[in-house]
Amino acid sequence: MGFIDPAVIEEAYADLEADGARIADLDYSGLSVPELLELQSRRERLKCAAEAVDHRILAALVAQTGPKEIGGKNWADVLRIRLHLSAKEARRRVRDMENLGPRTGLTGEVLPPLWEEAARAQADGAINADHVDVIGHFMANLPNWVDPATTVQCEQTLVARARHQTPEELRAAANKLLYELDQDGPEPDDTERDRTRGISHGKQRRDGTSEVSGTLTPEARAYWDAIHDKYAAPGMCNPADDVPCYSGTPTAEQIANDTRTVAQRQHDAQMWVARMALTSGMLGEHNGLPVSVVATTTLQELQRGAGVAVTHTGSTLPVPDLIRMASRSYCYLAVFDQHTNIPLYLGRTRRTATPGQRIMLFARDRGCTRPGCTAPASRCQAHHAVCNWRDDGQTDITDMTLACGRDNVLADSGGWSTTMKNGRAHWTPPPLLDVGQPRTNHYHHPTLYPPESEDADGESDSPAV
């Protein structure tokens, strides 16, 4: 594979950094158009080939240790923290390493990459990350019944095209190849069919609405068809009625006055079914609270009947909608007088947080407090931030914070340490992940930022002006 002496590797990378500095100082204005274009092509080949080296470095790291030993939830988390990458880019690099990087057998022998032809082309600098994404999408959508030999042939065909095509052209060729493999469609197969199931909620728009898309299995379709027949019928569950009909048969007047489209009636039916499920008591508990909606707002917004509340799942909710939900006992409501906190103290009387404490933690932290984590409060646990319970920690809200399940484990046994400062959780990473990053999580509180006059930790609770 090459030199493995650390001194040789260090010398090579020192030379590379020196050469990079020299290249950065070059003046390209005197080159001709053909020379500039050729130089661009040369640099692109070098950049693509560098990704193959990155895969080898990450593969060597994976072979020696695990992400939790370093202090990360997974390898994407390690890359995101160490290299300041987006979560999407970090996941892409790990995925590409798994497919294009060298592998290690059970007895320690080095195995070729899973996609050997694609790995060879990338090492040559002939294909880029976008080409790899197209090939990966093709592989993910390849039917399960395709045999290994055909799979290898498909990879070779796509890589040969990728060496001379743009990613857009390659995507068209990949789609055509998928069609040619199975022009008549696969035989009915439950496993193949169920791969396509799923429902996605898009990001909330400025008005709070969200786009929904997805694919239902036949069983799920049968359930919702039966529900829609009842609750999406004209006159049923109509929010425009003074007294909406939720059971029995709507009156002739309610049916005649119903101007909703079929899609709107189905939306209102699904909202009513969700509301019934939340209030039925059959959904049990989640993280110490009955499954419900927990919303946070201020006294001033409630008095004005305007503004936006934040739910424990991270979504926004107009205050008028919140007032209507709260009046019908469809949610838990935490109200603050501007930025006043309500501390709840239990000391050593119990280990776990009470429902009241969890609601206030939801309202204060809004989500996991480890820097970089985007998990909303609904997926978090109450974490003893100042001192672990087994070490005589206190179950007081001023000593506790929110942490998602995996980050809670990292704080317990993954090398991370936590404390509370100015009412906010501060997380100190283990040495191998400490790259000078912020100690507090600003994701759930974007109006807080480090001003010019920072405290000793480079953190501040000052709101943005």
Concatenating the DSSP letter of every residue in 406-433 gives HHHHHHHHSS-EEEEETTEEEEE--GGG
Whether residue 294 has pLDDT greater than 50: yes
Q: Which tops the pLDDT comparison, 64 or 453?
A: 64
Parallel, antiparallel or unpaired: strands 293-298 and 331-336: parallel
404 found inside a domain: no
Segment 215-227 mean pLDDT = 92
Q: Distances in Å between the alpha carbon of 77 and those of 67, 68, 136, 370? A: 8, 10, 21, 12
pLDDT for residue 457 is more than 80:
no
Give the rounded percent of residues in the chain with a pLDDT score beyond 70: 88
Residues 28 and 74 in one domain: yes
pLDDT at position 216, please? 92
Structural domain contains residue 80: yes
Pairing verdict, β 289-290 and 285-286: antiparallel
Q: Which of 200-204, 222-226, 317-321, 429-433 has the lowest mean pLDDT?
A: 317-321
Give the torsion through C-alpha atoms of 115, 95, 131, 179, to 10 deg. 70
Asked whether residue 79 is domain-assigned, the answer is yes
Which pLDDT band holds residue 30 (cuts at 50, 70, 90)?
very high
- State the pLDDT confidence band at 459, using cuts at 50, 70 and 90: very low
Does 158 or 297 have the greater pLDDT score?
A: 158
- In terms of domains, do 305 and 276 share one? no
Burial class (CB in 10 A: 0-12, 13-18, 19+), 354: middle
CA distances in angstroms from 336 to 21, 289, 333, 342, 358, listed in the order given = 55, 20, 10, 8, 15
Judgement on whether residues 273 and 152 belong to the same structural domain of the protein: no
Q: Residue 253 sits in which domain range?
A: 217-280
Same domain, 165 and 230: no
Domain co-membership, 172 together with 301 = no
Q: Which residues pair with 293 in a beta bridge?
A: 331
Mean pLDDT lowest for which of 223-237, 244-258, 342-356, 400-414?
342-356
Examine residue 301 and state whether it is found in any structural domain, yes or no.
Answer: yes
Say whether both 139 and 259 belong to one domain: no
CA 134 from chain centre, in angstroms, equals 21
Q: Are residues 103 and 117 in the same domain?
A: yes
Tokens 């009915």: give the residue: 188
Q: Which of 186, 130, 183 is CA-nearest to residue 158? A: 130
Of 261, 280, 299, at which residue does a domain stop?
Answer: 280
Decide if 445 is inside a domain.
no
Same domain for 274 and 291? no
Give the C-alpha separation, 281 to 290, whole Å.
8
Out of 317, 336, 355, a domain closes at: 336
The reply to whether 101 and 165 lie within a common domain is yes
Calpha distance 464→447 (Å, rounded): 5
Task: Name the residue type at position 396.
Answer: D
365 CB neighbour count, 10 Å cutoff:
24
pLDDT value of position 349: 53
Q: Assess whether 45 and 157 both reside in one domain.
A: yes
Q: What is the DSSP string of 167-222?
A: HHHHHHHHHHHHHHHTTT-PPP-HHHHHTT-EEEEPPP-TTS---EEEE--HHHHH
pLDDT in the model for residue 335: 67
Q: At what angle do helices 87-100 and 33-64 cross, to 10 degrees?
A: 80
Does pLDDT of 221 surpass 70?
yes
pLDDT in tens, 94-146: 999 999 999 988 887 888 999 999 999 999 999 999 999 999 999 998 888 88
pLDDT for 448: 56
412 located within any domain:
no
Q: Is residue 346 part of a domain?
A: no
* DSSP secondary structure string for all residues of 22-76: HHHT---TTS-HHHHHHHHHHHHHHHHHHHHHHHHHHHHHHHH--HHHHT-SSHH
Whole-model pTM: value is: 0.71
With beta carbons less than 8 A apart as the criterion, state whether 231 and 269 touch. yes
H helices of 346-389, in order, are 355-365
Domain count, the chain: 3
Looking at 262, 280, 298, the residue that finishes a domain is 280
- Is 231 in the same domain as 314? no
Same domain, 68 and 45: yes
Which residues does residue 335 pair with via DSSP β-bridges, in sequence order? 297
- Beta bridge partners, 380, equal 404
Radius of gyration over alpha carbons of the chain, in Å? Answer: 28
**Residue 428: beta bridge partners?**
417
Q: How many CB atoms lie within 10 A of CB 349?
A: 9
Distance CA 465, CA 455 (A): 18
Q: What is the pLDDT of residues 132-158, one digit of tens each?
A: 999 999 999 888 888 899 999 999 999
Would 197 be classed as within a structural domain? no
